[in-house]
Structure 1
């Protein structure tokens, strides 16, 4: 078998592993549950998910670790050096002598914008992941993000707006009617209790699930419009900070910013629209790119680039074609574009 390149994109809700040839032929794919070591299930559960998916992807491709030239792991929760060391210790026995890198999942989208891997990525899903790579430094913001961002952040701020309005300290909002039923409550007071009482089942993922209901009011409710505008402004501030730290842009270049994730799935998404307005008028020359491709694409391109196989536009296009309708839609069943696909069980033992 020709040399293969392995990539894993692990997030707060699901994890994907993929295997490609140097030419961009996707030969193995596997999907499973949460691969974030900071998730409630804990680090060992995340490790089990990632290790199992690597094994499943190799099995789907009729390959072994010795067939892999290089691997790129882009994992949510790789925030500090000890997190990276945790994964190195967990993965080294699995991969034998194969070289591999472990980085925060925020890096995965960067190469979806520029094949040379220079630029900034903004992933807005359950939470937010921002990372940059430039001539001076590569850096994932992780815990340096000091504002509630992403879907969970938006809903958290929406809840706060309801409670502040209920106290007479803020503007009235339709959120007071829309949100309580989503949490099994009939009033803002009952919703406050449901989301803060001891043993509440409300998690970040549960909060983020209600982000579409909040965004649906963006055009008709000034309070929601302000929440969207505020999050967009904060994201732009972080982009500017990352650009300065990483040494972007280079001489005569624009700052490539790749934006993706469930909160901005479509270019018409309210948050993306507001970000476009802010970046178009910003002093920093920002090339904002809406990315619909799965983050696994960027991780696969990272694996190729780091492993010495120069990823070209043709390789990128081949991988996009193979991944379209599978990773993007969350369907890892059947065969697609020649790739054998495995669906690993989630933590509760059910197929993902």
Structure 2
């Protein structure tokens, strides 16, 4: 029997599980819901999603956990040692060999196969991580400015309120955003999203990012919001590079739903702010990097042919 490697990429919108051989033959794939233990549904719901997908993907290949050579879990919400311990208690009895890391690490091997560099995943939120000769470090969610799709919309809402108070520049967002919340005025939008018993969620907020970005060429406030997020990301990347001992040119791989295309406004802004960094855009799902992690950590050597084969299957 060929060695088999499992990877899980769990996020705030969706979770993927995949099975591959060392040469990149994708033999199982499953998708499910939110796998973040900090999500509103709580840790038990996240655990059910992850374990359910692991069970599904193994069953699809007629395999048991003991058949897996190595499993790489890249999970949103692994921010503190207690979070890793939660998952280790859950997963260790099932697998002979595994690693558990924040989902920010998942994209790194989409940039460099040796697993060194920095990843910036801009989806519902933002996950940033670096691996270098000195250290590997995931930039805690709690340290960050509002980033990613939800962060962009949050800042856009703030811009509307500041404009309403006469403390900020007038913006087309004042007319565009409230109706998307089922409101007719900024005041109604504020109440709908903050009053007791409101059902407004992080994912719902992130889903409005395309409507904000649609104004980037016609509204100076939106353009500045995009530029500010790019500047902040660049500063965090610099901190990660210094902490991890990475020296230039540092490879920074950027992906996620907010920058799905190479000409996405935020990626264009990052090109302007990232200077001499080796900035790379990835349209590959983060699961690809997690699968390459599983292969490498399991004792095999992922090659360009392996990556290309997995890329074709996953796309």
TM-score category of the 2 structures, normalised to the smaller one: over 0.9
What are the equivalent positions in structure 2 for 1:1-352 lying under 5 Å apart?
Answer: 1-95=1-95, 98-249=96-247, 253-279=248-274, 282=275, 285-324=276-315
- Deviation of 1:264 (Å): 0.4
8 Å CA contact 1:158, 1:175 repeated in 2: yes
1:129-181 superposed Cα distances (whole Å, 9 cap, x missing partner): 00000000000002353311111111111011101101111111000000000
Corresponding residue pairs, total: 315
- Helix, strand or coil for the counterpart of 1:109? helix
- Helix, strand or coil for the counterpart of 1:89? helix
8 Å CA contact 2:295, 2:301 repeated in 1: yes
- Helix, strand or coil for the counterpart of 2:302? coil
8 Å CA contact 2:153, 2:206 repeated in 1: yes
- Deviation of 1:277 (Å): 1.1
8 Å CA contact 1:148, 1:157 repeated in 2: yes
1:219-264 superposed Cα distances (whole Å, 9 cap, x missing partner): 1100100111111100000000000000012xxx510000001110
- Helix, strand or coil for the counterpart of 2:217? coil
Residues of 2 paired with 1:192 and 1:144: CA distance? 24
TM-score, normalised to structure 1, is 0.88
- Helix, strand or coil for the counterpart of 1:20? strand
Residues of 1 paired with 2:23 and 2:150: CA distance? 38
- Deviation of 1:92 (Å): 1.6
Runs of 5+ unmatched residues, structure 2: none
RMSD (Å) for aligned C-alpha atoms: 0.9
Residues of 2 paired with 1:217 and 1:130: CA distance? 26
1:52-101 superposed Cα distances (whole Å, 9 cap, x missing partner): 11111111111111211101000000000010010010012222xx2000
Residues of 2 paired with 1:165 and 1:179: CA distance? 13
- Helix, strand or coil for the counterpart of 2:120? strand
8 Å CA contact 2:127, 2:141 repeated in 1: no
- Provide runs of 4+ in structure 1 moved above 3 Å: none
- Helix, strand or coil for the counterpart of 1:93? coil
8 Å CA contact 1:118, 1:134 repeated in 2: yes
TM-score, normalised to structure 2, is 0.98
Runs of 5+ unmatched residues, structure 1: 325-352
8 Å CA contact 1:2, 1:67 repeated in 2: no
Residues of 1 paired with 2:311 and 2:144: CA distance? 34
